[in-house]
Amino acid sequence: MAEKRVIVVGAGIGGLSAALTLAARGFDVTVLERAATVGGKMRALPVGEAAIEAGPTVFTMRWVFEELFSQAGASLESEVRLRAASVLARHAWTANERLDLFADIDASAAAIAAFAGPREADGYRRFCARAAEVYRTLEGPFIRSDRPNPVELGKRVGLTGIGDLWRIRPFATLWSALGEYFRDPRLRQLFGRYATYCGASPFAAPATLMLVAHVEQAGVWTLEGGLSRLARAVADLAERRGARIRTGAHVARIVTENGRIAGVQLADGERIAAEAVIAGGDVAALGAGLFGPDAAREGDRVPARERSLSAVTFCLNARARGFTLAHHSVFFSADYRAEFDAILRGRRLPPDPTIYVCAQDRDDAGAGPDGPERLLVLVNAPADGERRFTPQEIAACETSWTKRLAACGLTLEPVSPAAVTTPEDFGALFPGTGGALYGRASHGWTATFKRPGARTKVPGLYLAGGSVHPGPGVPMAAQSGRLAAAALIADLASTPTWRGAAMSGGTSMR
Ligand SMILES: Cc1cc2nc3c(=O)[nH]c(=O)nc-3n(C[C@H](O)[C@H](O)[C@H](O)COP(=O)(O)OP(=O)(O)OC[C@H]3O[C@@H](n4cnc5c(N)ncnc54)[C@H](O)[C@@H]3O)c2cc1C
């Protein structure tokens, strides 16, 4: 069915979800991925004998994948093995200040009461209710729908929804909104950290991002084999439904003819014809002209200062002593504002960072191996991938996080050298991003509306991925792929000329 040829550029989860959806609907789908493996940011790195997850580790909003798989005639549970976490994460400020959050709100409220007093526990319950309300208001009209502008969003949520949105105080920052629920600065820091799930600072992100807290409260799962396994499962199913996936295929140009999509050209000169292209890399690559002039989009230029956060990650095999790590643990800096000022204003690695540790061999509560274990250590960093952090700066970063972990009672004793990924490395892995991991930063209430939607002005060119509506994170990026596929299918149905105007000729030519 040559008239339904679709090329997906990039096998990140957005591209893969689009590919699976379209392949299951009978489209002729080819995924072109420049890396050697599928998954994009959902990747594992070899460290010694082990493979350590070096990308996302917190799996939420499983309904997105349940729907994705079931619409392709399969089921999530039969493709991957999931375990619900009862401890969402373990948090520490010092050796004596620790707090677990649980999937059960009452258990969390009790833990918060013991940690910071009953008034804070009450604030937590009010916060959860409001975060749930934000999520409920936005799931249908925003997360499940095409990108709206502010007026359309208002129309979609309706009068009651507008009241709900207004109560969220959309123009307030997350940090200031949290002050209405928590007096204890540690709790404000804990819940403010959810902004970083979108690569944003809690001091600049809109209060609506409290919905991330609800998403986590609604369920966190661990996946056997890690999240890279989930990406592989989506790719496998897409192949079983007929998609072709080519790795080591760098798309150098998106080609148009007579103003509409005609195919792509690879870095080695090979041209592949198609009637539609879904660009699944970061839209900043289009803005920077990395796909050639036909697809260059002025609106997608993302100045360095508007990029979301990057990270420095350390994958290591180490013995952990003195602190029982949970599967997800967070160690907070002493001064959150100074940390974000260092990253976003100073454009440097923070001298006192907040650290996320994923102890991949442990269950949610902390049971795990009695010996070296696989760990991912992550600190936030500025997305200035064009400049190289010196080995001294990276060593200083390691010293800072080691000190912060030690202040919380944790010592890590690596048994082999760590695999380190810097903003520069992320920039090289994900072209056009400068190392930004979540697209444009969600700073200010208008930022959400600056993310492009699935459709572009070029007929036949669609966008998917974490830099596109509805936003970053594994489920949201997957959702963007589903939206791109839906837009393409709808356009095909409504435009009879969609097929005829495309590039004539074979499917692949040099
Ligand atoms: C360290 C880290 C931790 C994270 N933690 C979490 C977490 O715990 N939970 C969560 O939900 N999310 C997390 N995220 C975010 C999440 O991983 C991403 O939002 C999501 O995976 C992005 O998917 P994507 O569809 O945008 O594709 P990407 O993963 O960005 O992949 C894009 C793909 O396109 C390919 N590509 C680009 N240009 C070309 C080209 N010219 N030709 C061919 N191929 C090309 C790239 O090689 C890449 O494979 C984390 C991210 C990182 C990096």
**DSSP string across 307-348:** B--EEEEEEEEEEEESS---SEEEE--S-HHHHHIIIIIS-S
Give the pLDDT of residue 88. 96
User: What is the Å distance from ligand 1's center to 337 Cα?
Assistant: 27
Class of residue 504 by CB neighbours under 10 A (exposed 0-12, middle 13-18, buried 19+): exposed
Is there a domain that residue 505 lies in? no
Contact criterion met (CB below 8 Å) for 251 and 32: yes
With a 6 A CB cut-off, is 437 part of the ligand 1 pocket? yes
- Residue 385 and residue 320 share a domain: yes
Is there a domain that residue 161 lies in? yes
Report helix, strand or coil for 297: coil
pTM: 0.95
Give the pLDDT of residue 141. 86
| Distance separating alpha carbons of residues 416 and 450, to the nearest angstrom | 43
Is there a domain that residue 98 lies in? no
Is there a domain that residue 147 lies in? yes
- Residue 230 and residue 193 share a domain: no
Task: Return the residue whose CA atom lies nearest to atom 13 of ligand 1.
Answer: 56
With a 6 A CB cut-off, is 17 part of the ligand 1 pocket? no
Of 97, 215, 128, nearest to 479 by C-alpha is 215
| Distance separating alpha carbons of residues 391 and 393, to the nearest angstrom | 5
105-116 vs 118-138: helix crossing angle, rounded to 10: 140
CATH of the domain at 37: 3.50.50.60
Contact criterion met (CB below 8 Å) for 279 and 294: no
Give the pLDDT of residue 493. 83
With a 6 A CB cut-off, is 55 part of the ligand 1 pocket? yes
Give the pLDDT of residue 154. 81
- Residue 141 and residue 68 share a domain: no
Is there a domain that residue 406 lies in? yes
Report helix, strand or coil for 135: helix
With a 6 A CB cut-off, is 465 part of the ligand 1 pocket? yes
- Residue 293 and residue 315 share a domain: no
- Residue 465 and residue 455 share a domain: yes
With a 6 A CB cut-off, is 311 part of the ligand 1 pocket? yes
- Residue 77 and residue 29 share a domain: yes
- Residue 138 and residue 47 share a domain: no
- Residue 230 and residue 213 share a domain: no
User: What is the Å distance from ligand 1's center to 251 Cα?
Assistant: 17
Residue 508 is classified by DSSP as E
Give the pLDDT of residue 20. 98
Query: Length of the chain, please?
Result: 510
Give the pLDDT of residue 506. 30
> How confident is the model over 197-256, as pLDDT tens digits?
999 999 999 999 999 999 999 999 999 999 999 999 999 999 999 999 999 999 999 999
- Residue 424 and residue 313 share a domain: yes
Mutate to test the pocket of ligand 1, among 474, 476, 482 (most ligand atoms within 8 A of CB): 474
With a 6 A CB cut-off, is 251 part of the ligand 1 pocket? yes
150-168 vs 118-138: helix crossing angle, rounded to 10: 160
Is there a domain that residue 252 lies in? yes
| Distance separating alpha carbons of residues 89 and 100, to the nearest angstrom | 6
Which of 429, 460, 478 lies at the terminal end of a domain, its last residue? 429
118-138 vs 185-192: helix crossing angle, rounded to 10: 20
User: What is the Å distance from ligand 1's center to 42 Cα?
Assistant: 6
User: What is the Å distance from ligand 1's center to 475 Cα?
Assistant: 11
Is there a domain that residue 182 lies in? yes
Contact criterion met (CB below 8 Å) for 340 and 432: no
Of 497, 489, 502, 490, nearest to 25 by C-alpha is 489
| Distance separating alpha carbons of residues 273 and 253, to the nearest angstrom | 12
In sequence order, the 6+-apart residues with CB closer than 8 A to the CB of 354 are 189, 193, 330, 331, 332, 333, 336, 339, 379, 380, 404
User: What is the Å distance from ligand 1's center to 304 Cα?
Assistant: 18
Contact criterion met (CB below 8 Å) for 9 and 254: yes
Note the Cα 213 to chain centre separation in Å.
15
Is there a domain that residue 500 lies in? no
Which of 188, 218, 248 lies at the terminal end of a domain, its last residue? 218
Q: Which domain holds residue 320?
A: 305-429
User: What is the Å distance from ligand 1's center to 279 Cα?
Assistant: 13
With a 6 A CB cut-off, is 430 part of the ligand 1 pocket? yes
Contact criterion met (CB below 8 Å) for 488 and 74: no
Residue 242, amino acid: G
Of 326, 322, 319, nearest to 91 by C-alpha is 326
Instruction: Looking at the CA of residue 39, tell me the nearest atom of ligand 1.
Output: 49
- Residue 400 and residue 358 share a domain: yes
Which residue positions in the chain have pLDDT lower than 70?
A: 1-3, 168, 496-510
> How confident is the model over 296-306, as pLDDT tens digits?
877 788 888 99
- Residue 25 and residue 12 share a domain: yes
Structurally, the chain folds into a number of domains equal to 3
Element (DSSP H or E) covering residue 14: helix 13-24
- Residue 365 and residue 294 share a domain: no
